[in-house]
């Protein structure tokens, strides 16, 4: 089937079998391999991307459900020379070790910060409930998200 979708601002038309998952479109057809597949069963969150601005698990979305949507992946939020505040905070706070979960963590964290006020340690831990990290023990991830929240909310409130 033909699917038209916008990914990181650019329009794409892909021709894929109807049993293709959104994550396959991103990784195999568009070469956007920053979105990872950990569990493939909607549990780990490594495949998290934004669909029309909200975080979703791209391993659990079918090509047909992606028609006409706007997708943002980890490649679409910043660049090596101009990191997104969430990426910068993850680097500052050593919020990753192997890095496998990191793209999904960052995409979930950005949605969390965009949709909540007055985040604290507990709210960040609850907000990231759909993302699992095998390495860090979460402490530094929470610190990074709180740091980024100050930057992101500070600039958007003004």
Residues 82-111 binding ligand FES (CB under 6 A) are: 96-102
Choices 12-20, 71-79, 89-97, 143-151; region in contact with other proteins by CB under 8 A: 12-20
The yes or no reply on residue 149 touching other proteins (CB under 8 A) is no
Neighbours of 136 (CB within 10 A): 19
**Which residues on neighbouring strands pair with residue 11, listed in sequence order?**
6
The yes or no reply on residue 114 touching ligand FAD (CB under 6 A) is no
Residues 11-70 binding ligand FAD (CB under 6 A) are: 42-43
What is the rounded distance in angstroms from the CA atom of residue 26 to the CA atom of residue 18?
Answer: 15
Cβ(74)–Cβ(111) below 8 Å: no
| Residue 82: CB minimum distance to other proteins, A | 26
Residues 121-150 binding ligand FES (CB under 6 A) are: 133-136
Cβ(92)–Cβ(144) below 8 Å: yes
Phi and psi (nearest 5°) for 148?
-65, -35
Rule CB under 6 A: which residues touch ligand FES? 37-40, 42-47, 57, 59, 96-102, 133-136
């Amino acid at each position: 089937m033909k699917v038209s979708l916008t990914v990181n601002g650019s329009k794409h038309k892909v021709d894929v079998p109807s049993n293709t998952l959104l994550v396959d479109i991103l990784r195999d057809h568009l070469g956007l391999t920053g979105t990872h597949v950990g569990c493939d069963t909607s549990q780990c969150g490594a495949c998290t991307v934004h669909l029309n601005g909200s975080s979703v698990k791209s391993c659990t979305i079918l090509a047909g459900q992606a028609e006409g949507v706007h997708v943002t992946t980890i490649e679409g939020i910043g660049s090596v020379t101009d990191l997104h505040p969430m990426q910068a905070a993850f680097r500052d706070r050593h919020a990753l070790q192997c890095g496998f979960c990191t793209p999904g963590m960052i995409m979930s964290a950005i949605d969390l910060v965009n949709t909540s006020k007055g985040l604290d340690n507990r709210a960040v831990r609850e907000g990231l409930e759909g993302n699992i990290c095998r390495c860090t023990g979460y402490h530094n991830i929470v610190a990074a998200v709180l740091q980024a929240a100050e930057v992101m909310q500070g600039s958007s409130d003004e």
